[in-house]
Chain A
């Protein structure tokens, strides 16, 4: 599908072939998996009750791009401006911590002092909304009116592994389906030639950054059908595993081989009658198409110099964040529902000033360019972009504190991230924190990870209560059993305002 064809996507509700007509034509009654592959996705919707996927009300977002900053960026040096902390430089806040009852990680719980570390970097106000943004993110300043900064995020976890699992699978414990797979499951596919959920791994540039591991758990499908799992688009080797034909096999030979295979399988279908054989024939054809569509996707030669300038010089280097951001736009154009960019290296327990500056530089221009590029192509209206980590960081320094150097430990009670597009109000700052960015001071505006999930689902036309999947006799939901709310305050209009 060409990028420009996106607008031509069939109106899902206006299909002339009804469910009954379809079944009448197929008296033999193919298995539904077979149907799924025989039919264009919009028709599969017709079969299953008049719509594609599981939309509960009109969707504001057709697709989502999630920029996952793994390791947890500090709010103090990015979006949560605390200028008065300079006056409390080195003040020991041990008593405050004890009173708060907040559990500390094993990395700082043994410290005898907890000295306040003011941010080494200044902030400025930007845009009509006057959003405060750190000097480490100058490009973000330019798009302040496109994004909504949420300063009142909070989570349950205090270590990376459980926190990332909570953020990206809805549960601190392994074994749940990832957010992207839920969206793929709920939304269905817009493009038969590409996976519905694509994962990009952007390399960080600093050799010093403290890098946390991530695993396929964050984009797996577990109990959801395997086709909803995220597919890694790699920048080294084949972009999709095993995509490239074996050495010595060219396209013509692959076609010949597949034509023969298809004929052989057709004969088996005739003699055995198993509709799954039809599905297999179709899947081999899709594999063949993917072998063309994915290289087309990763061949960026058609991008203009002006676009590369927008994303910055790194965008020509495969594997960088800027390159991944540009790739995310190309995926959005081609109808990929959920694109997740993982950028690691945000875990600054020490040497924070040096390392966070480099991390911010990695992502600042690329994130800006992505939002601008989507906007000028008219895609930002129905693309939701999210940018953030798994928890926040402490106001006190981990390890030695000087005026130039310090580190910050993990902090779950307050952190910042931003959302943009798909009717999220730009130029807005939502929620606030106390002087130590320790507790959220706006009780009505607290955003738990579950609330974020509910809001993302809402933008995609889904009610988080109703998007369920039965597994081992139980109904699972991305947001789990605890209450979750859609953060309607930051949305233009919501079908779930009353929930």
Chain B
């Protein structure tokens, strides 16, 4: 049973997590509707559907397999009742009346059962009768009653209604919400909550935030000075800075990093041996796409179906690595079909979460419990990805086909010339071997006799000493004869060897990358699998998209058609899901907080009209990501200070209404890159094969199989130790530990939203990891080279790390740490030497040892400051 346990998708009462994990999980909980009397109008989408989906759909929703009555709970008796769709909700029941009578709650069975005080009767089912039971609050029941009284109007699920630009709301904060539409929508909501916006963030901190959000790196003190000393209007300078940053390599690297989470990119296969996989050229394709600001619709289409475009370029084929990024297995004894099913499902799950905000995986085993996706539709989606000659088992090979080899133009033409020449010489050699077999045999006999008691230790002598060489050994002897003894063979070999060497050199510097390929002679299809079990095939289905979304019409029913369908402007989801994910990356929280679930069980948008405005604007502007980001980061909303006022905090602790800027910890890669950048160690190189920076010993070895080619972690040396974190080698079964500790996902499955935790292990990384200790010393060195008094040194370190000079009271603290450390290091110079020699790079010999060591401690202290680690 392959997928039977894939998805624990049904809805059960969940008393536990709200109690236990209020912050991390409650954010995803939908807001309980306010008391019914407070509401002017009742909306099905906003107020009623959350109640029905949470409490009723499990038994009265889309899943025909668990619908009641008529199911397990009612002893398979009765007429099933479906509540999620209008067309079924008003059907006549056994008593001749529908369960919902619009305008008449008293006679509506739905309301009667909800209001019942009899545990045997009440709906949802009472907890005493079933472990799945729950109790509705009186407020929720009152809402349902009022909804029925007002006519029980259904609405399509909000996310499936095409977005449109609404008129910008009128607001009181007219000077604050001047021209950027984002601010109008935001102000409208925080005004409702009686909030006023924070003032604009201090310029230096704002620029630092902007740099991190757009490039993943902080500004250099020099760049910052230049911006702050610009005499023109700050707003103009700010906008220029935005445009400048959007066009940097660092921007492309930063946004590629976000995308690699989505695409579950890694450098190993992921299962069992977890061998190396060569797919980094796909990562470089993403880098280049961001660098040239490729429109997001094209970006989508090329990744989904670049190989199927008319006359595809090599680049377009490389882009399809997207569908090759999931973990694959090569374990002996595995059954191919099981994995074909898994891979197709993974591709559907990833694509759905990324572009559609749908949890389709739930429909692998049963009709979706909450969203209108049937099992059939899930398998129709998998069909798009199954029509490929790719073998299910990867044989642990780095170039698991289909693949392409990437060569530069010169190599390509050289290789084309080499190939026939090599073939020709090899053919000549083979003919010669055939022709001169008799002399070879005679030679062999003679030599064997001569070597019988020889003490010659050369490899060939050893082989000739053997009385009965095996096949391999005989081949070696033959090769020796025809390359060194036979005169004609020797000549051929002399020509062949350098050609082969050239060919190998070209081969070695031209990487392969895994890509998608379509079966030419077959139409895509799949089978519906009973409970997701690959051995239990039911109906055969062809490729198609879910019925609740706009039809594919005359698009081809293959990946190319899917790619086009995903970017049709009439598809209500992809643009919404994308702008929401971008909003999430900037504000730390999406307008829909469940960034991968826009379904019925997902969160409702906090600002639905803003989301729709952004989505529409995005498509109108040719899916231009620069335009989207520019709109967001130039808004007054974004430019607010992150100061938390206790009164405002009380009204809006989760900062849902954005009357202040968000404040949250930098991502794993940003923290490491910050240390490398500020220390001057960062080696800027755009793209290329993955690198292996410092890592504690034996992390790979402990968990790897002996035969794995990623069992031993051999750190690189030189520049490769200091590349941006996006280039760090990603082994799936043991992902880079310092990244994982800061919540980088493992990349086994798609990740559209990282968690942010705050743990002691994180403190240990920045205090003790070689990478951070070495960087701290370089920060200290830079400061000592630039400044000469303790005070100016501290200022310089602070300007590198937090983009501001230290305050008087802070200087005192840092100075006290410095003098404590200096005192200690002066009395134990050996210890000081140890500290400044951490890492591969040598310390600056011109700087006094105890002082450098002491400033290293201070630099590390400031590097560890909350202000440093936060945006």
Choose among A48, A106, A264 the residue that contacts B334 (Cβ–Cβ < 8 A). Answer: A106
B333 touches A106 (CB 8 A): yes
A264 surroundings in chain B (CB, below 8 A): 810, 813-814, 861-862, 865
Docked-complex contact B10 and A475, CB < 8 angstroms = yes
Instruction: Report chain A residues within 8 Å CB of B603.
Output: 473
Interface residue B560 (Cβ < 8 Å from any Cβ of A):
no
- B649 lies within 8 A of A29 (CB): yes
Given contacts A161-B329, A260-B813, A474-B7, contact A240 B764 (CB under 8 A): yes
Most-contacted residue by chain A among B28, B703, B743 (CB, 10 A): B703
B167 at the interface (CB under 8 A from A): no
From the candidates B698, B735, B813, B862, name the one contacting A237 in the complex (CB within 8 A): B698
* A271 neighbours in B (Cβ, 8 Å): 643
Give 17 pairs: A residue, B residue, CB < 8 Å, sorted on A: A105-B334, A158-B333, A171-B5, A211-B705, A213-B273, A215-B734, A237-B698, A241-B761, A242-B738, A245-B768, A247-B837, A248-B853, A271-B643, A472-B602, A473-B594, A475-B8, A482-B4
Known A-B contacts A241-B764, A466-B12; the reply to A220 vs B813 at CB < 8 A is: no
Instruction: Give CA–CA (A37, B763) in the complex, Å.
Output: 14
**B831 near A: Cβ within 8 Å?**
yes
Does A309 sit within 8 A of B, measured CB to CB? no
Query: Contact: B743 with A226, CB < 8 Å?
Result: yes
Q: Given that A217-B748, A256-B820 are known contacts, is A237 also in contact with B732, CB under 8 Å in the complex?
A: no
Residues of chain A lying within 8 A (CB to CB) of residue B665: 276
Within 8 Å CB of B833, what residues of A? 248
Interface size counted on chain A using CB atoms at 8 A: 112
- Which positions 234-249 of chain A face chain B at CB distance < 8 Å? 234, 236-238, 240-249
- B555 an interface residue at 8 Å Cβ cutoff? no
Whether the Cβ atoms of A468 and B746 lie closer than 8 Å is no
- Cβ-based interface call for A253 (8 A): yes
Which residues of B lie under 8 Å from residue A188 when comparing CB positions?
Answer: 20
Closest A residue to B349 by CB, please name it: A175
Which of the residues B5, B334, B763 comes within 8 Å of A283, measured between beta carbons? B763
Cα A426 to Cα B638 in complex, Å, equals 63
A138 part of interface (Cβ distance < 8 Å):
no
How near does chain A come to B646, taking the closest CB pair, in angstroms? 5
Are A273 and B649 closer than 8 Å at their CB atoms? yes
A213–B733 CB distance below 8 A: yes
Closest 8 CB pairs of A and B: A248-B835, A215-B733, A105-B333, A473-B601, A273-B644, A287-B760, A287-B763, A247-B834
**In the assembled complex, which residues on chain B have CB atoms less than 8 Å from the CB atom of A172?**
1-3, 5-6
Check A287/B764 contact, CB under 8 A, given A238-B696, A253-B821, A468-B12.
yes
Q: Are B735 and A213 in contact (CB under 8 A)?
A: no
Contact B1 A156 (CB under 8 A): yes
Interchain nearest-CB distance for A82 vs B (Å)? 24
Query: Contacts A53-B20, A216-B746 given: A236-B697 contact, CB under 8 Å?
Result: yes
Chain B residues within an 8 Å CB radius of A227: 757, 759
Given A54-B19, A172-B2 in contact, is the A220-B14 Cβ separation under 8 Å?
A: no
Known: A173-B342, A185-B21, A473-B602. A245 touches B759 (CB 8 A): no
Which chain B residues border A281 with CB–CB below 8 Å?
866
CB-CB under 8 A from B693, the residues of chain A are none
Interface residues of B in 719-770 (CB under 8 A from A): 732-735, 737-738, 740-741, 743, 746, 748-749, 755, 757-765, 767-769
A273 touches B19 (CB 8 A): no
**Contact assessment for B697 and A240 in the assembled complex, using a CB-CB cutoff below 8 Å:** no
Count how many chain B residues have C-beta atoms less than 8 Å from C-beta atoms of the other chain. Answer: 132
> Which residue from chain B places its CB closest to the CB of A56 in the assembled complex?
B16
Q: Are A473 and B599 in contact (CB under 8 A)?
A: yes
Q: A160 at interface (Cβ–Cβ under 8 A)?
A: yes
How far apart sit A267 and B19, CA to CA, in the bound complex (Å)? 31
Chain A residues with CB under 8 A of B362: 474
Interface centre among B10, B645, B743, by most chain A C-beta atoms within 10 angstroms, is: B10
Which residue of the partner chain B has the closest CB to A52?
B20
Give the number of A-B contacts (CB < 8 Å): 336
Q: Is B303 an interface residue (CB 8 A)?
A: no
B359–A474 CB distance below 8 A: yes
- A242-B765, A470-B29, A476-B8 given; A173·B3 CB < 8 A: yes
Answer whether A470 and B644 are a contact pair too, CB < 8 Å, given A54-B19, A215-B732, A286-B760: no
Q: Identify A279's interface contact among B25, B601, B645, B758, CB under 8 A.
A: B758
Q: Which residues on A sit within 8 Å (CB–CB) of B25?
A: 225, 469-470
Please tell me if the beta carbons of B20 and A29 are within 8 angstroms of each other in the complex.
Answer: no
Contacts of A466 in B (CB 8 A): 12-16, 131
Enumerate chain B residues within 8 angstroms of A279, measured Cβ to Cβ. Answer: 758
User: A461-499: which have CB < 8 Å to B?
Assistant: 463, 465-477, 479-482, 499
* Cβ-neighbour of B831 out of A162, A248, A470, A499 (below 8 A): A248
Interchain CB contact under 8 A, B761 and A240: yes
Question: In the complex the two chains form, is B2's CB within 8 Å of A246's CB?
Answer: no
- Give, as a whole number of angstroms, the nearest-CB distance from B759 to chain A: 6
How far is it, in angstroms, between the C-alpha of A409 and the C-alpha of B333 when the chains are bound? 10
**A172, B643: Cα distance in complex, Å:** 46
A24 CA / B813 CA spacing, docked (Å):
33
A143-164, CB < 8 A from B? 156, 158-162
Which of A212, A253, A261, A470 lies in contact with B14, CB distance below 8 A? A470
Question: B817 contacts which of A28, A166, A256, A482 (Cβ < 8 Å)?
Answer: A256
The answer to whether A297 has its CB under 8 Å from any CB of chain B is no
Q: Is the CB of A283 within 8 A of B762?
A: yes
Contact A261 B865 (CB under 8 A): yes
One of A48, A216, A475 near B703 (C-beta < 8 A) = A216
A156-B857 in contact (CB<8A): no
Which among A232, A274, A284, A409 is the interface contact of B642 at CB below 8 angstroms?
A: A274
> Most B CB atoms within 10 A — which of A32, A287, A410?
A287
How far, in angstroms, from A256 to B769 measured CA to CA in the complex? Answer: 19
From known contacts A225-B755, A272-B644, infer whether A468 and B331 are also in contact, taking CB-CB under 8 Å: no
**The one of A185, A216, A254 that contacts B734, using a Cβ cutoff of 8 Å:** A216
- Closest residue of chain A to B818 (Cβ to Cβ) is A260
Any B CB within 8 A of the CB of A186: yes
Question: Does B474 sit within 8 A of A, measured CB to CB?
Answer: no
Asked whether A268 is an interface residue with its Cβ less than 8 Å from the other chain, the reply is yes
Question: Assuming A215-B703, A261-B861, A499-B131, what are 18 further A-B pairs, CB within 8 angstroms?
Answer: A156-B5, A158-B333, A170-B5, A171-B5, A172-B5, A173-B5, A211-B706, A215-B734, A244-B768, A248-B835, A248-B836, A249-B835, A254-B767, A290-B760, A470-B25, A473-B359, A474-B359, A480-B8
- Does the CB pair A287–B761 fall under 8 Å? yes
Within 8 Å CB of A166, what residues of B? 5
A214, CB-defined interface residue at 8 Å: yes
A246-B12 in contact (CB<8A): no
CA of A257 to CA of B594, assembled, Å: 40
Does B453 make an interface contact (CB < 8 A)? Answer: no
**Counting CB contacts under 8 A, is A292 at the interface?**
no
CA distance A482 to B763 in the complex (A): 41
**B574 at the binding interface (Cβ < 8 Å):** no
Is the CB–CB distance between B9 and A474 below 8 Å?
yes
What CA separation (Å) do A254 and B737 show in the bound complex?
A: 23
Chain A contacts with B in 26-56, Cβ cutoff 8 A: 28-29, 31-33, 37, 48-49, 53-54
Contact B861 A241 (CB under 8 A): no
B866's partner among A220, A246, A280 (CB-CB below 8 A) is A280
Q: Is A317 close to B, CB under 8 A?
A: no
Residue of B nearest to A290 (CB): B760
Among candidates B8, B327, B643, residue contacting A474 with C-beta atoms closer than 8 Å: B8
Cβ-defined partner of A267 (8 Å) among B5, B342, B810: B810
Contact status of A226 and B757, CB under 8 A, knowing A265-B865, A470-B28: yes
How many angstroms between the C-alpha atoms of A25 and B7 in the bound complex? 43
**A217 in complex: contacting residue of B2, B733, B837, CB < 8 Å:** B733
- Tell me which residues across on chain A come within 8 A of B867, comparing CB atoms: 265, 268, 272
Tell me the complex Cα distance, A33–B26, Å: 12
**Is there a chain B Cβ closer than 8 Å to A250's Cβ?**
yes
Residues from 753 to 807 in B contacting A, C-beta threshold 8 Å: 755, 757-765, 767-769, 773, 807
Asked if A142 is an interface residue, CB under 8 A from chain B, the answer is: no
